[in-house]
């Protein structure tokens, strides 16, 4: 009799468990579609034309924008400006000390890739003709890394760029910011078979699929970097990653708009 009751109760509990969706547990207790706490502090460096400290969870990046009244040689007398990105990580931004790249004599391949990504992302939304023959140097320095440093750099760099352009407008150098739209970036990945938004280091280090997603406020894609690290992925998973990425980016752009509310974009 007792054995019969136990089997009956077990079957009932099994049926009830099937009624509830599978819960995904992340190391920092976030939901799969939830980004980490975001904090962007504008004018973090008082000596730069534009700057911001961006914090996404435990990832922290200082972004500065410096205006230089000259352009690279290939743009001289073209009437066009340029935006160039540089990126670096402090030696103890990670769990163990990483030697400064200056001591090695040249930046690593990873650093060069990220620098180019930052520059491309900002130039994609810039009107270089209206910027005039000047260069804006974007420096992104990671002071603490917990995943997503390149995407945080792009999001913070746009704020620094916007603040620098606002100062040029206030000085009468520009009448409006030579920017066509806002841009931000975020990571998405597949971990243990589940699509997760905004991966931290623990998740990124064991992700089956890793994707970096750069997008404008107008839902235009600037760049996708999607790699099957351990497992291949299908169209449905890609669609879900893009949907979560779009959601996360629009949330970040809303924060950018709050900080750059006075910025008059090119019409």
Q: Which CATH superfamily is domain 28-259 in?
A: GHMP Kinase, N-terminal domain (3.30.230.70)
The whole-angstrom separation of Cα 176 and Cα 130 is 9
Beta pairing, strands 82-89 & 135-144: parallel
Q: What is the pLDDT of residues 66-108, one digit of tens each?
A: 999 999 999 999 999 999 999 999 999 988 998 888 888 788 8
- Per the prediction, the chain carries an average pLDDT of 90
Which range, of 95-99, 140-144, 247-251, averages the lowest pLDDT?
Answer: 95-99
User: In this predicted structure, what is the pLDDT of residue 11?
Assistant: 52
pTM (2 d.p.): 0.89
DSSP annotation of 265 reads: B
Give me the sheet containing 59-68, strands edge to edge: 38-42, 50-56, 59-68, 135-144, 82-89
Q: Parse the chain into domains and list their residue ranges.
A: 28-259
Query: What's the confidence (pLDDT) of residue 237?
Result: 95
Distance of CA 10 to the CA centre of its chain: 47
| Distance between CA atoms of residues 160 and 139, nearest Å | 9
Sign (positive or negative) of CA dihedral 162, 62, 69, 171: positive
CB-based contact 88:150 (threshold 8 Å) = no
Q: Which of 11-15, 107-111, 149-153, 248-252 has the lowest mean pLDDT?
A: 11-15
């Amino acid at each position: 009799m007792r054995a019969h009751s136990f089997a009956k109760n077990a079957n009932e509990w099994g049926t009830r468990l099937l009624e509830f969706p599978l819960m995904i547990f992340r190391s920092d207790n976030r939901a799969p579609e939830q980004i980490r706490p975001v904090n962007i502090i504008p004018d973090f460096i008082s000596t730069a034309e534009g700057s911001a400290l961006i914090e996404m969870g435990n990832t922290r990046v200082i972004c500065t924008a410096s205006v230089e009244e000259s352009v690279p040689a290939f743009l001289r007398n073209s009437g066009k400006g340029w935006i160039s990105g540089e990126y670096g990580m402090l030696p103890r931004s990670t769990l163990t000390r990483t030697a400064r790249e200056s001591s090695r004599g040249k930046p690593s391949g990873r650093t060069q890739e990220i620098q180019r990504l930052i520059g491309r992302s900002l130039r994609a939304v810039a009107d270089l003709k209206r910027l005039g023959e000047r260069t804006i140097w974007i420096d992104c320095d990671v002071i603490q890394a917990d995943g997503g440093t390149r995407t945080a750099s792009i999001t913070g760099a746009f704020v620094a760029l916007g603040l620098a352009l606002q100062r040029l407008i206030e000085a009468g150098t520009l009448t409006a910011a030579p920017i066509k739209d806002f841009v931000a970036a975020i990571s998405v990945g597949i971990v243990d078979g589940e699509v997760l938004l905004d991966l931290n280091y623990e998740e990124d280090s064991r992700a089956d699929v890793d994707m970096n997603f750069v997008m404008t406020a107008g839902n235009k894609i600037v760049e996708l970097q999607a790699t099957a690290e351990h497992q291949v992925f299908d169209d449905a998973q890609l669609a879900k990653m893009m949907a979560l990425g779009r959601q996360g980016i629009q949330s970040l752009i809303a924060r950018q708009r709050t900080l750059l509310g006075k910025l008059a974009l090119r019409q």
